[in-house]
C-alpha cells in the first residue's frame, strides 16, 4: 500500500517543469551569486561578483574542492556556465560536459563530431556556451550553431552559420543570448573572410539578422576600402560581445583588416575593422561605431571586451563603454552615442604620438612593416587581448592583464587564395624588449595605473574581481593567484600545471563560495575548508 | 598448380564452418545482451528479418564497426576476420527468419492512449515530454515488440541502469525520490521528477536506497488498448539525437 502511494506521488511530481534559465535571469545575472549564466558573467562584462566568503583575510586557506578531468587536450579556453547547481563546460574539440557544481561529478557528456570533410580556419578551440530556457548553445569550430538539451545533452537542432566550403570561417566564441535571440560572430579574419555579427531565433535556429562588418559597395563605409579590397577585408568578430538591455544595444568588437601587416592593398580606414560596433538588438542595424585603429597594419584586433559601466564622468552619470585595446591604449566612450571621451596608453607603445580629440590615433610615419622588418610596440598579439578584464564597484578599479613587449613586423604583399590564410608574413619578438606582463589595476575614468603585479610571461588569462577585496588572475606559467584588490598584494597562488588561457569564475551554493578555473585538460574548483 | 588449388579449397571449408561458430561466440558475448541470444531483440532491436540500417554484409559490418551515433548501439573494434564471422552469423539467422508479422493495432488510437495515460510526464518523443524516463522517439526500432510489451505490463522486470530509481532520506528526515545519475563514496547525484539535477553529500543522508522496483507503475490496460499503444510505440522511428535538419542558411 505504501509503495502504491509513493508511485502516485512520484508520477504527480513528474508534471512539474524544471527551473529554466529565463531572459530575466540573464538581465539580473550580476545580482545572482549562485549562478554564472553568461560567458562574461553579466551583460556588461564587469566580471565581478558580490561574494566575500573568500576574502583578503582568509584566501590563504583556499584549497581544491574538486577537479574534473575532461579527457580532452588542447588549449582549454572555456568559461563554464553555472545554472541550477549544474556546471556546463566545453572542451577544445567541442565536447560538452554537464557537471555537478558541488562535487565535480559528471551528469552527462555530449561530443560534437566535426565531419571528416569539414574545412575550417582556426583549429579546435572553444570558449564556452550560452544558455536560455532548457537549451545550451554551442558554436562549433566548423561554424555551426547547435542547440543542446540541458537535461541530457541531446542535440535539438544544428544549423549552418557560415559556409566553410572554402576552408575559411570558423567558430570559437561563446554565443550571447539577447532576449529571444542567439547572437554570435565568426573567426578567420586572417583568412580574408568578410566578418559578420549574426542573430538566430533561440527556439528554432533560424537566422533573424546579420550585420556585415565590411560594408558592400553602395553602403556607407565601403569608400574606406580601395578597389575590391573590401571583399577579403577580414573584420572577424571572434569574441563574445556585450549587451545593454535598457538601450537595446549589442556591442561587438571587430578584428583586423586582411591582409594584416600589409596595408597598401587596402588604402583607406578599412571600416568597420578594429572597431566596436553598436547594433540594434532587434534588427542588427548599426547605431554607431568607433574605430580604434584605422588602416591597421599591426593586427591590432579590437575584439577585447567592450565593458559596460555607468560612472560619473566629469560630475555627471553617464553610460560608459570601457575598452583596453590591443593597440596599447585604454578608451572610454559614451555607449549611448559612441562619443569619444578619453584614451590613454597603458604600456609602452611606439606607433602613435597619441590620440587626438576625436579619438583618432596620430600615427608616427615610416613605421609600416617592411620586408626587412620594423620594430613596433606593443607586440602583434597586443598590449592586452581577449581575456576578461574586471571592474569592482567597491574599489572603483578596472583590472586587466597587460602583455608587455614589442615585435619586429615583417611584411610582403600576399596573394589571396580562398580557404588559406591571408597573412602578410610575420613577426619576431624584439630582442631588445622582454615580453613579460602584469596584472594592472587602473582608475577607469583617468586611465591612471593604481597598482601593478608583474608577471614573468605575457599572459593570455583573465581576471575576476569580488567583494572579498580580491582579484583572481591567471598567468601563462600556470598560476591562479589571488591579489588584494585595493593594493595588488599577492595573498595566495597555486600552479595548475598548464598555461591558463581563460578566466576564473565564482559562485556560491549552499552557503559555500567556489572559484573555478579550467586549465589544460582539467577544471579546478576551489573553496575554503 | 592444380594441386595447390585443390589444397586451398579443402582448407576453405573448415575455415568457413569455424567462422560461423566464431561469429556465434562473439555475438553471444557482445550482442546478445541487447539483441537476444537468438537475435530476436530485447533491449535492442530484433535482427531476425529486414534491418533498418541495411541488409548487405557491408551494411551490417558498418553498423558494428561504427555504432549508430545517438543510440545505444556502440562501435565495436573487431579484427577483420572476427567482423566477417559475426556478419556471417547475423545473416544466417536473419535470412532464415520468417517474414515479419505486421504489428496488430491502430497506432493513432495508441497515440491517444499514450496521451490519456500521461506517458509524456516521464517520457519524451521528439522534443515533447520529460527526460526522467527513457526517450521513446525510436522505440519502434530500438526495442523489440515483446520488450515494449513487458515494459508496459511489468516495467520492473528490466530497469536500464541509467534509469535506476533512488530513494533518499536526509538526516533531517526529508524524503527525496529520483533517478540515479552518478555516485561515488561521498556524494550522489540524481534527477528529480521535475527533471532537474540534485546532488547530496552522503554525510547529510540517513538512507540511500537503490530501488529494484521501477519508477514506472505497471499498466493494466484493456487488450485492445495495449495493442494500440504498442502499435503506436512500434511506429516510432525518429532519431532525436540528430537534427531535425533546418534548411541550411548559406552565407551571402
A35 to chain B: which residues are within 8 Å by CB?
none
Please answer yes or no on whether A14 and B130 come within 8 Å at the CB atom.
Answer: yes
Whether B61 and chain A come into contact, CB under 8 Å, resolves to no
Whether B118 and chain A come into contact, CB under 8 Å, resolves to yes
Whether B168 and chain A come into contact, CB under 8 Å, resolves to no
Instruction: Say how far apart CA A196 and CA A203 lie, in whole Å.
Output: 21
For residue B195, give the nearest of A18, A160, A210 by CB distance.
A18
Q: What is the CA radius of gyration of chain B?
A: 23
pLDDT of residue B56: 87
Task: Return phi, psi of residue A60, to 5°.
Answer: -60, -20
Which residue in A483, A489, A273 sits closest to A390, CA to CA?
A483
Please answer yes or no on whether A163 and B250 come within 8 Å at the CB atom.
Answer: yes
Please indicate whether residue B239 or residue A440 has the higher confidence score (pLDDT). Answer: A440
Residue B159: Cβ-neighbour burial (10 angstroms; 0-12, 13-18, 19+): buried
For residue A10, give the nearest of B177, B201, B252 by CB distance.
B177
Four-residue CA torsion sign, A113, A117, A118, A124: positive
Nine-digit cell string for B49: 528479418
Q: What is the mean pLDDT of residues B53-66?
A: 88
Using CA coordinates, name the residue in chain B closest to A19: B196
Please answer yes or no on whether A103 and B130 come within 8 Å at the CB atom.
Answer: no
For residue A100, give the nearest of B177, B197, B243 by CB distance.
B197
Instruction: Say how far apart CA B182 and CA A178 lie, in whole Å.
Output: 34
B242 to chain A: which residues are within 8 Å by CB?
155, 158
Please answer yes or no on whether A206 and B246 come within 8 Å at the CB atom.
Answer: yes
Q: A139 forms bridges with which residues in the sheet? A: A145
Is residue B72 pLDDT above 90, yes or no? no
- Looking from the CA of A93 toward its CB, the CA atoms found within 13 Å total 13
* Cβ atoms A53, A512 nearer than 8 A: yes
Whether B171 and chain A come into contact, CB under 8 Å, resolves to no
Please answer yes or no on whether A13 and B194 come within 8 Å at the CB atom.
Answer: yes
Which residue in A36, A362, A10 sits closest to A174, CA to CA?
A36
pLDDT of residue A425: 79
Whether B252 and chain A come into contact, CB under 8 Å, resolves to yes
pLDDT of residue A165: 59
Q: How confident is the model at residue B97 (pLDDT cuts 50, 70, 90)?
A: confident
Whether B248 and chain A come into contact, CB under 8 Å, resolves to yes
Nine-digit cell string for A324: 583596453
Q: What is the CA radius of gyration of chain A?
A: 23
Please answer yes or no on whether A7 and B217 come within 8 Å at the CB atom.
Answer: yes
Is residue B252 pLDDT above 70, yes or no? no
pLDDT of residue B2: 44
DSSP structural state of residue A466: E
Interface A-B: count of C-beta contacts within 8 A: 105
Whether A63 and chain B come into contact, CB under 8 Å, resolves to no
Please answer yes or no on whether B217 and A204 come within 8 Å at the CB atom.
Answer: no
pLDDT of residue A479: 95
- DSSP assignment string, A296-318: -SS-----S--EEEEEEETTEEE
Q: What is the mean pLDDT of residues B142-162?
A: 89
What is the pairing mode between strands A490-495 and A505-509? unpaired
Q: A276 forms bridges with which residues in the sheet? A: A253, A290
Please answer yes or no on whether B193 and A10 come within 8 Å at the CB atom.
Answer: yes
Enumerate residues 6+ apart whose C-beta is below 8 A from A359: A290, A331, A333, A340, A343
Q: What is the pLDDT along chain A (529 residues), one digit of tens a residue?
A: 344 444 444 443 433 345 789 999 999 999 999 999 999 999 999 999 999 999 999 999 999 999 999 999 889 999 999 999 999 999 999 999 999 999 999 999 999 998 888 888 888 999 999 999 999 999 999 999 999 999 999 999 999 999 755 667 899 999 999 999 999 999 988 888 899 999 999 999 999 999 999 999 999 999 999 999 999 999 999 999 999 999 999 999 999 999 999 999 999 999 999 999 999 999 999 999 999 999 999 999 999 999 999 999 999 999 999 999 999 999 999 999 999 999 999 999 999 999 999 999 999 999 999 999 999 999 999 999 999 999 999 999 999 999 999 999 999 888 888 888 888 778 999 888 889 999 999 999 999 999 999 999 999 999 999 999 999 999 999 999 999 999 999 999 999 999 999 999 999 999 999 999 999 999 999 999 9
Instruction: Say how far apart CA A459 and CA A46 lie, in whole Å.
Output: 19
Q: How confident is the model at residue B242 (pLDDT cuts 50, 70, 90)?
A: very low
Whether A207 and chain B come into contact, CB under 8 Å, resolves to yes
Using CA coordinates, name the residue in chain A closest to B132: A14
* Ordered structural domains, chain B, with CATH: 2-94 (1.10.760.10), 107-158+218-251 (1.10.760.10), 165-210 (2.30.30.100)
Instruction: Say how far apart CA A460 and CA A502 lie, in whole Å.
Output: 7
Whether B187 and chain A come into contact, CB under 8 Å, resolves to yes
Using DSSP's 3-state secondary structure scheme, residue B147 falls into helix
Question: A7 CA to chain B: closest CA distance, Å?
Answer: 7
**Complex ipTM value:** 0.79
A161 to chain B: which residues are within 8 Å by CB?
249
Using CA coordinates, name the residue in chain B closest to A161: B249
pLDDT of residue B12: 46
pLDDT of residue A432: 83
* Cβ atoms A240, A40 nearer than 8 A: yes
For residue B199, give the nearest of A6, A11, A102 by CB distance.
A102
Instruction: Say how far apart CA A120 and CA A420 lie, in whole Å.
Output: 10
Choosing from A42, A198, A296, A299, the catalytic residue is A299
A105 to chain B: which residues are within 8 Å by CB?
182-184, 187, 189, 199
Using CA coordinates, name the residue in chain B closest to A110: B70
Which residue in A89, A46, A101, A38 sits closest to A513, CA to CA?
A101
Task: Please report, for residues A279, B118, B165, the alpha-carbon distance to residue A222 in angstroms, rounded to integers and kept in the order given.
Answer: 18, 59, 63
Whether A415 and chain B come into contact, CB under 8 Å, resolves to no
pLDDT of residue B140: 87
Cell 586451398, residue located: B8
Four-residue CA torsion sign, B151, B154, B155, B161: negative
Please answer yes or no on whether A105 and B130 come within 8 Å at the CB atom.
Answer: no
Q: Determine whether A443 is an active site residue.
A: no
Please answer yes or no on whether B197 and A107 come within 8 Å at the CB atom.
Answer: yes
Instruction: Say how far apart CA B114 and CA A49 lie, in whole Å.
Output: 47
Q: What is the mean pLDDT of residues B142-160?
A: 89
**Over the stretch B8-29, which tens digit does the pLDDT of each residue have?**
444 444 445 568 888 888 888 8
Using CA coordinates, name the residue in chain A closest to B193: A14
A169 to chain B: which residues are within 8 Å by CB?
251
Q: How confident is the model at residue B52 (pLDDT cuts 50, 70, 90)?
A: confident
Neighbours of A1 (CB within 10 A): 5
* Cβ atoms A414, A445 nearer than 8 A: no
End-to-end CA distance of chain B: 67
Which residue in B215, B180, B193, B124 sits closest to A16, CA to CA?
B193
A107 to chain B: which residues are within 8 Å by CB?
181-182, 189, 197
A86 to chain B: which residues are within 8 Å by CB?
197
Q: How confident is the model at residue B4 (pLDDT cuts 50, 70, 90)?
A: very low
Instruction: Say how far apart CA A78 and CA A291 lie, in whole Å.
Output: 28
Task: Return phi, psi of residue A364, to 5°.
Answer: -90, 120
**Over the stretch B27-45, which tens digit does the pLDDT of each residue have?**
888 888 888 888 887 778 8
Using CA coordinates, name the residue in chain A closest to B123: A14
- DSSP assignment string, A202-237: TTT--EEEEEESSPPTTSTTGGGS-TTGGGG-B---
Using DSSP's 3-state secondary structure scheme, residue A246 falls into coil
Please answer yes or no on whether B187 and A103 come within 8 Å at the CB atom.
Answer: yes
Which residue in A336, A269, A327 sits closest to A302, CA to CA?
A327
Q: Where are the alpha helices (DSSP H) in B143-222?
A: 145-153
What is the pairing mode between strands A463-466 and A48-49? parallel
Question: B137 CA to chain A: closest CA distance, Å?
Answer: 12
- Looking from the CA of A246 toward its CB, the CA atoms found within 13 Å total 8
DSSP structural state of residue A257: B
Residue A91: Cβ-neighbour burial (10 angstroms; 0-12, 13-18, 19+): buried
DSSP structural state of residue B103: P
Which residue in B162, B190, B183 sits closest to A86, CA to CA?
B190
Amino acid at each position: 500500500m505504501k509503495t502504491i502511494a509513493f508511485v502516485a506521488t512520484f508520477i504527480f511530481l513528474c508534471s512539474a517543469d524544471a527551473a529554466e534559465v529565463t531572459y530575466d535571469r540573464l538581465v539580473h545575472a550580476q545580482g545572482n551569486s549562485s549562478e554564472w549564466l553568461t560567458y562574461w558573467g553579466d551583460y556588461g562584462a564587469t566580471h565581478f561578483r558580490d561574494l566575500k566568503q573568500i576574502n583578503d583575510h582568509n584566501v590563504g586557506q583556499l584549497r581544491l574542492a574538486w577537479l574534473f578531468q575532461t579527457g580532452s587536450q588542447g588549449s582549454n579556453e572555456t568559461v563554464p556556465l553555472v545554472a541550477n547547481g549544474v556546471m556546463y563546460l566545453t572542451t577544445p574539440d567541442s565536447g560538452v560536459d554537464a557537471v555537478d557544481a558541488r562535487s565535480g561529478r559528471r551528469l552527462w557528456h555530449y561530443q560534437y563530431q566535426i565531419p571528416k570533410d569539414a574545412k575550417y580556419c582556426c583549429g579546435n578551440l572553444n570558449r564556452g556556451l550560452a544558455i536560455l530556457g532548457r537549451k545550451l548553445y554551442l558554436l562549433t569550430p566548423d561554424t555551426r550553431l547547435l542547440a543542446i538539451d540541458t537535461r541530457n545533452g541531446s542535440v535539438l537542432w544544428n544549423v549552418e552559420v557560415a559556409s566553410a566550403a572554402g576552408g575559411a570561417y570558423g567558430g570559437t566564441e561563446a554565443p550571447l543570448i539577447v532576449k529571444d535571440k542567439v547572437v554570435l560572430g565568426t573567426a578567420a579574419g586572417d583568412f580574408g573572410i568578410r566578418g559578420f555579427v549574426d542573430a538566430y531565433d533561440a527556439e528554432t535556429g533560424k537566422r533573424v539578422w546579420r550585420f556585415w562588418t565590411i560594408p558592400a559597395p553602395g553602403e556607407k563605409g565601403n569608400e574606406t576600402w580601395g578597389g575590391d579590397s573590401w571583399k577579403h577585408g577580414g573584420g572577424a568578430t571572434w569574441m563574445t560581445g556585450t549587451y545593454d538591455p535598457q538601450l537595446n544595444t549589442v556591442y561587438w568588437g571587430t578584428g583586423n583588416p586582411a591582409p594584416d601587416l600589409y596595408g597598401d592593398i587596402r588604402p583607406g580606414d578599412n571600416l568597420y575593422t578594429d572597431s566596436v560596433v553598436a547594433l540594434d538588438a532587434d534588427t542588427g542595424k548599426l547605431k554607431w561605431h568607433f574605430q580604434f585603429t584605422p588602416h591597421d597594419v599591426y593586427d591590432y584586433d579590437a575584439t577585447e571586451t567592450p565593458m559596460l559601466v555607468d560612472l560619473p564622468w566629469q560630475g555627471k552619470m553617464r553610460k560608459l563603454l570601457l575598452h583596453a585595446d590591443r593597440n596599447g591604449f585604454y578608451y572610454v566612450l559614451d555607449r549611448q552615442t559612441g562619443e569619444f571621451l578619453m584614451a590613454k596608453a597603458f604600456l609602452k607603445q611606439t606607433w602613435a604620438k597619441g590620440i587626438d580629440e576625436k579619438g583618432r590615433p596620430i600615427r608616427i610615419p615610416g613605421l609600416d612593416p617592411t620586408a626587412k622588418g620594423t620594430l613596433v610596440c606593443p607586440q602583434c598579439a597586443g598590449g592586452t587581448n581577449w581575456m576578461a578584464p574586471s571592474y569592482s564597484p567597491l574599489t572603483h578599479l578596472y583590472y586587466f592583464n597587460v602583455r608587455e613587449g614589442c615585435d619586429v613586423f615583417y611584411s610582403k604583399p600576399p596573394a589571396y587564395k580562398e580557404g588559406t590564410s591571408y597573412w602578410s608574413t610575420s613577426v619576431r619578438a624584439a630582442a631588445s624588449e622582454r615580453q613579460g606582463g602584469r596584472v594592472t589595476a587602473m582608475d577607469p575614468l583617468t586611465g591612471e595605473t593604481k597598482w601593478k603585479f608583474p608577471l614573468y610571461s605575457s599572459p593570455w588569462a583573465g581576471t575576476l574581481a569580488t567583494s572579498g577585496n580580491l582579484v583572481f588572475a591567471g598567468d601563462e606559467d600556470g598560476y591562479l593567484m589571488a591579489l588584494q584588490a585595493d593594493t595588488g598584494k599577492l595573498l595566495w597562488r597555486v600552479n595548475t600545471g598548464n598555461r591558463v588561457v581563460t578566466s576564473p569564475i565564482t559562485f556560491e551554493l549552499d552557503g559555500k563560495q567556489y572559484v573555478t578555473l579550467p586549465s589544460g585538460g582539467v577544471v579546478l574548483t576551489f573553496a575554503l575548508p | 598448380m592444380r594441386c595447390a588449388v585443390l589444397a586451398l579449397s579443402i582448407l576453405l571449408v573448415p575455415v568457413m564452418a569455424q567462422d560461423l561458430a566464431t561469429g556465434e561466440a562473439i555475438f553471444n558475448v557482445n550482442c546478445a545482451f541487447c539483441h537476444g541470444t537468438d537475435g530476436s531483440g530485447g533491449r535492442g532491436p530484433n535482427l531476425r528479418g529486414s534491418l533498418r540500417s541495411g541488409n548487405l554484409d557491408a551494411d551490417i559490418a558498418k553498423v558494428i564497426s561504427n555504432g549508430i551515433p545517438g543510440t545505444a548501439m556502440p562501435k565495436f573494434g573487431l579484427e577483420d576476420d572476427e567482423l566477417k564471422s559475426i556478419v556471417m552469423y547475423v545473416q544466417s539467422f536473419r535470412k532464415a527468419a520468417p517474414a515479419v508479422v505486421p504489428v496488430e493495432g491502430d497506432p493513432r488510437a495508441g497515440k491517444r492512449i499514450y496521451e490519456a495515460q500521461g506517458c509524456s510526464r516521464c517520457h519524451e518523443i521528439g522534443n515533447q515530454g520529460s527526460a526522467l524516463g527513457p526517450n521513446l522517439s525510436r522505440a519502434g526500432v530500438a526495442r523489440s515488440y515483446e520488450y515494449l510489451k513487458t515494459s508496459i505490463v511489468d516495467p520492473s522486470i528490466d530497469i536500464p541502469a541509467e534509469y535506476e530509481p533512488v530513494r533518499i532520506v536526509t538526516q533531517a528526515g526529508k524524503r527525496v525520490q529520483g533517478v540515479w545519475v552518478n555516485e561515488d563514496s561521498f556524494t550522489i547525484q540524481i534527477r528529480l521528477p521535475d527533471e532537474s539535477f540534485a546532488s547530496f553529500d552522503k554525510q547529510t543522508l540517513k538512507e540511500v536506497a537503490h530501488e529494484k522496483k521501477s519508477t514506472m507503475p505497471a499498466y493494466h490496460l484493456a487488450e485492445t488498448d495495449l495493442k494500440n499503444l504498442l502499435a503506436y510505440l512500434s511506429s516510432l522511428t525518429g532519431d532525436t539525437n540528430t537534427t531535425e535538419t533546418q534548411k541550411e542558411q548559406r552565407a551571402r
